[in-house]
Structure 1
């Protein structure tokens, strides 16, 4: 009986992701984010339970990645698709006219622009497939974990909803910014860089100094900046990982 408990928790992650997909398609980004965060909690909790019960299995590893593909891969891709739709026709077909000079034309291209957001699920699938066959990624990650990337993408509609700053909103709804974030996230998901895991083998400070420092910085940033802190937290995670490359094992 115990061996099935982690898999049930993993399926709750998948279930949360499925609900989030429906909510994103209904333009309810806040509720979708809540279910993604719930799914990420289940994603963390299933591995913890499996280790505590000593029932890790090859099935569990595959099931975990399949659930992550929906919750942390498909959902952020759909959110980016919706954000690019929201950004509007800021750049269509950029061309030159002798009468008016450079101008945007051919609005049909704008209808295709949101599909760039679906590169995120593709990059996530590739990252998860590599993770499943890479025996080295037990205590650290190669490339940005899909849950971290999902949180990054979902932070944008949350920032607009709850902090409502004109300058920030204008940045987030800029097509160039969104396309840049999409390309950057796809790269980071599969970047050949070691990133530390938040899994603690012991509670010893010396061997977990970077983890404790990261958690403290996260708390401070969230208190001060709220949802706007999330992109900064991801950047901090990348910087601390790069600075501690020699100690990541």
Structure 2
């Protein structure tokens, strides 16, 4: 009779128990390493500004910009996108492109303006938070070809680029120069406002690096790299200044032609459609 009774193997019981046990959720290492490195760049910039090393602060923010542009691409290339990574990226952006530029420009120039100085610095920081929150909530309905308002890394580049140019070209004590201090305040205020306006800024997301281009394009890119290398602070700041006003020109052009000007698509089903809200 014992031969008729099935005997369960102990290993089979362990395997069944392991199958019923829910798997622990983890996070992808590679894209989040880039995000953490970008976060470190922003934190490093703040620490350097506290110690009066403003050029190093500029380097920290611009390095964070490069790393921030890579983490999403790395995630898509390696198929490691996740909700955790998206939230981590937003928090990193808030530190590197929201809090860091506001604190650096306050320490560098706005401190001498009293309450107006820290008020403008806070306004920029708040606009960065609002811009990131709006970006996250409107992600499914915004035309992918355009950003809704100036992206926070470009806004940070305007503020930090202004600091870099002044520090690179002179040793002026900005806290004792009201003209430069108010110029820094105006730049910070402009960057903050432009982040939250409903103006379309080209995102460059429809550019494909896999397409072939004429040989002259590579020559022009090499020439541009050489020119930027001669005057890095002024050239990089000039590039971001042109981008920082480009959205208003696009808005004015579309408005003059009677075309829709908002970056919000007409429906959530086709976020890349040509027609946009007015």
Shift of 1:199: 3.2
Find the aligned partners of 1:153 and 1:84 in 2 and give their Cα distance.
11
The corresponding residue for 1:112 is 115
Structure 1 segment 146-225 matched on structure 2, within 5 A: 146-164=152-170, 173-203=179-209, 204=211, 222=228, 225=231
Q: Conserved in 1, the CA contact under 8 Å of 2:49 and 2:57?
A: yes
Looking at structure 2, the residues matched to 234 and 170 of structure 1 have their Cα atoms a distance apart, in angstroms, of 27
**TM-score with structure 1 setting the length:** 0.73
- CA positional deviation for 1:141: 0.8
Distance 2:75 2:27 in 1: 9
Whole-angstrom CA distance in 2 between matches of 1:29 and 1:228:
16
The whole-number CA distance in structure 1 between the counterparts of 2:107 and 2:207 is 40
Q: Tell me the distance in 2 between the aligned counterparts of 1:133 and 1:218.
A: 37
- How far apart, CA to CA, are the structure 2 residues paired with 1:117 and 1:188? 15
Mapped partners of 1:183, 1:11: distance in 2: 28
- Given that 1:24 and 1:75 are in contact with CA atoms closer than 8 Å, whether structure 2 keeps it comes out as no
Query: Where does 1:210-249 land on structure 2 (aligned, <5 Å)?
Result: 222=228, 225-241=231-247, 242-243=249-250
Once the two structures are overlaid, the 10-residue window that deviates more, 145-154 or 226-235, is: 226-235
Per residue, is there more strand in 1 or in 2?
1
Structure with higher helix content: 1
Please give the TM-score of this superposition, normalised by the length of structure 2: 0.66
Q: Distance in 2 between matches of 1:42 and 1:55?
A: 16
Structure 2 residue runs of 5 or longer lacking an equivalent are 1-25, 264-271, 273-278
Q: Which runs of 5+ in 1 are unaligned?
A: 89-109, 207-211
For the structure 1 residues 68 and 172, does the alpha-carbon distance in structure 2 shift closer, same or farther, using more than 3 Å as the test?
A: farther
- The alpha-carbon distance between structure 1 residues 8 and 48, as it changes in their structure 2 partners (threshold 3 A), is same
Q: Which residue of 2 aligns with 1:8?
A: 33
Question: In the alignment, what sits opposite 1:31?
Answer: 56
CA distance in 2, matches of 1:2, 1:129: 23
The residue aligned with 1:81 is 106
Q: 1:217 to 1:112 in 2, by over 3 A?
A: farther
The answer to whether the 8 Å contact 1:16/1:35 transfers is yes
SS state at 1:183 partner: helix
Q: Is residue 42 from structure 1 mapped to residue 48 from structure 2 by the alignment?
A: no
Tell me if 1:130 matches 2:134. yes
Q: Distance in 2 between matches of 1:68 and 1:5?
A: 18
Residues 179-236 of structure 1, C-alpha deviation per residue, up to 9 Å, x if partnerless?
Answer: 3222211110111111111335524589xxxxx9xx7997587357542234432232
Match in the other structure for 1:102 = none
Alpha-carbon shift at residue 112 of structure 1 (Å): 2.0
Shift of 1:127: 0.4
Q: Shift of residue 176 of structure 1?
A: 2.9
Compared CA separation, residues 196 and 82, structure 1 to 2 (3 A): same
- Structure 2 SS opposite 1:174: helix
